[in-house]
Structures are given as C-alpha cells and as structure tokens.
C-alpha cells in the first residue's frame, strides 16, 4: 500500500516556489498516535520565508498525478515524484517570522490562492562560511 506519509520521512525536501530550502530531519507519531509530526530544517538563509501564517502542503507527486495526465508530472522534479515533497507559501500580508520549532499544519493539498501568494521578503546575502560553498557559488 502506498503511504503518503512518505512526504514526512527524513530527507524529504521542502520547497518554496520550487526551490529547495530545507528538508525533513525527523518524524514521529504525535502524543495520541493520531498524527504524524515532522521536524523540518530550513536553511538559515531562507528562514525569513517562514512566517506564522505560512501554509504547508503535501507536494508528493503520486496522488497528484492520478487522472491529471502527464503535464503535471513533468512540473515536479524527479526527486519529488519519487520521495514526495513539501511545499509552502507565505501570504502577501506576512506575519512576523516564525520562531524555531513553530508548529504548522501540513495540508493534504494546496489551495489555489496559496499558489498566487508572492510577498517580497528580504533574504540575507548568501554567507560563504566554507571555501567549498563559495567556490560552487561562483565567486562572491
């Protein structure tokens, strides 16, 4: 049986507007075993994207594809298709930045309005802590 809880498994990528900004680091059962709880690590640079009113949803390819034909399949990255993924969006009137370990509901699918959100959020400059990272970024 396919399990859509697959999108809550460790290393599942987390996307914002199609860019991977983090991944699931751990998942566990909730206190009453009725829910699944996943901890998500967001790259520090992208942390300002996560606001108190951000919405997260399941971007796993498999269910989406059923009955929708090929077009949507190609829109998803191969990794998302295979292992599932999590998308999130932040409303145009964003709330304050969510502190670490803030809880969010993971919705089964997105609403159309969420996809249209496009707030301007200032991101810090990419830091080059490690030489390797600086090199791969192609200079400062």
- Residues near another protein (CB under 8 A) are 1-5, 8, 22, 24-25, 29-30, 33-45, 47, 50, 52-53, 56, 58, 86, 95, 98-106, 108, 127, 129
For residue 20, the minimal CB distance to another protein (Å) is 12
Judged by beta carbon, residue 74 or residue 93, the one nearer another protein is 93
DSSP state of 2: -
86, 7 contact by CB (below 8 A): yes
Judged by beta carbon, residue 22 or residue 76, the one nearer another protein is 22
Judged by beta carbon, residue 74 or residue 123, the one nearer another protein is 123
For residue 112, the minimal CB distance to another protein (Å) is 20
Judged by beta carbon, residue 21 or residue 76, the one nearer another protein is 21
CA distances in angstroms from 75 to 60, 64, 78, listed in the order given: 12, 11, 9
37, 110 contact by CB (below 8 A): no
For residue 79, the minimal CB distance to another protein (Å) is 18
What radius of gyration, in Å, describes the C-alpha atoms of the chain? Answer: 16
56, 91 contact by CB (below 8 A): no
Question: Distance between CA 2 and CA 62 in Å, rounded?
Answer: 9
DSSP state of 26: E
For residue 8, the minimal CB distance to another protein (Å) is 6
């Amino acid at each position: 049986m396919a399990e859509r809880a697959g999108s809550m498994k460790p290393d599942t990528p987390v996307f914002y507007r199609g860019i991977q900004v983090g991944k699931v680091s751990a998942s566990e059962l909730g206190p009453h075993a009725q829910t699944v709880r996943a901890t998500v690590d967001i790259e520090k640079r992208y942390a300002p994207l996560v606001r108190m009113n951000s919405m997260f949803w399941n971007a796993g390819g498999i269910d989406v594809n059923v009955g929708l034909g090929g077009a949507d399949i190609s829109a998803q990255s191969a990794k998302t298709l295979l292992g599932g993924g999590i998308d999130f969006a932040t409303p145009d009137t964003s709330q304050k930045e969510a502190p670490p370990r803030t809880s969010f509901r993971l919705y089964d699918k997105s609403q159309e309005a969420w996809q249209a959100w496009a707030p301007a959020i200032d991101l810090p400059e990419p830091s080059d802590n490690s030489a390797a990272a600086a090199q791969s970024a192609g200079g400062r």
